C-alpha cells in the first residue's frame, strides 16, 4: 500500500508541475492579436492556432490526471483496513474500556468525597481540632 501511495504522489507532483509549465507557456487572449499582424507566432512549430489547441488539450489532460490522483490519495488516506478476527471468527464486539466523556468527571468528583469521608477516622473528623 505504501508503494501505491508513493507512486500516486509522484504522478500527482509531475502532473502539477506539468500544468504549471503549460499554463505559463500559453499565450493570453491579447497575444492572438499580435499573431495576426505577423509577430512571429505563425512561424512557430504548431502554427498560429495549432499551439493553442495542443497546449490547451495537454493542460486539460494533466489537470484531469491531477484531479484523479487527488481523489485516489483522499480515498487511500481515509482507508482503514479491518482487523482480523483470527481463528475465533467474528465474536461479540469488545466492550468499551473507557467511560463516556460526560460521565467521567461527575463520577470521580462524586466518588472522591464519599471515599474520603469513610476513610477518615472519627478522631480526625472536621471540627475536632481540639486536642484531648
Low-confidence ranges of the chain (pLDDT < 70): 29-52, 89-132
How many Cβ atoms sit within 10 Å of the Cβ of residue 15?
20
The answer to whether residue 112 is domain-embedded is: no
The answer to whether residue 54 is domain-embedded is: yes
The answer to whether residue 96 is domain-embedded is: no
The answer to whether residue 99 is domain-embedded is: no
The answer to whether residue 108 is domain-embedded is: no
Locus of grid cell 475465533: 88
Segments forming the whole domain that contains residue 24: 12-79
The answer to whether residue 49 is domain-embedded is: yes
Name the domain count of the chain.
Answer: 1
| Contact yes or no for 11/65 (Cβ under 8 A) | yes
Residue-level pLDDT at 79: 79
Grid coordinates of 123: 478522631
Residue-level pLDDT at 116: 52
| Contact yes or no for 42/48 (Cβ under 8 A) | yes
Threshold 0.85, pTM exceeds: no
The answer to whether residue 17 is domain-embedded is: yes
The answer to whether residue 120 is domain-embedded is: no
Amino acid at each position: 500500500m505504501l508503494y501505491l501511495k508513493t507512486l500516486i504522489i509522484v504522478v500527482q507532483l509531475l502532473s502539477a508541475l506539468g500544468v504549471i509549465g503549460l499554463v505559463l507557456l500559453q499565450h493570453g487572449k491579447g497575444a492572438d492579436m499580435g499573431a495576426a499582424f505577423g509577430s512571429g507566432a505563425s512561424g512557430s512549430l504548431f502554427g498560429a492556432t495549432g499551439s493553442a489547441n495542443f497546449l490547451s488539450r495537454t493542460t486539460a489532460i494533466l489537470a484531469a490526471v491531477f484531479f484523479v490522483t487527488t481523489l485516489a490519495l483522499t480515498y487511500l488516506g481515509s482507508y482503514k483496513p479491518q482487523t482480523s478476527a483470527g481463528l475465533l471468527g467474528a465474536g461479540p464486539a469488545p466492550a468499551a474500556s473507557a467511560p463516556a466523556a460526560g460521565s467521567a468527571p461527575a463520577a470521580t468528583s462524586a466518588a472522591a468525597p464519599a471515599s474520603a469521608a469513610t476513610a477518615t477516622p472519627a478522631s480526625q473528623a472536621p471540627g475536632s481540632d481540639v486536642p484531648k
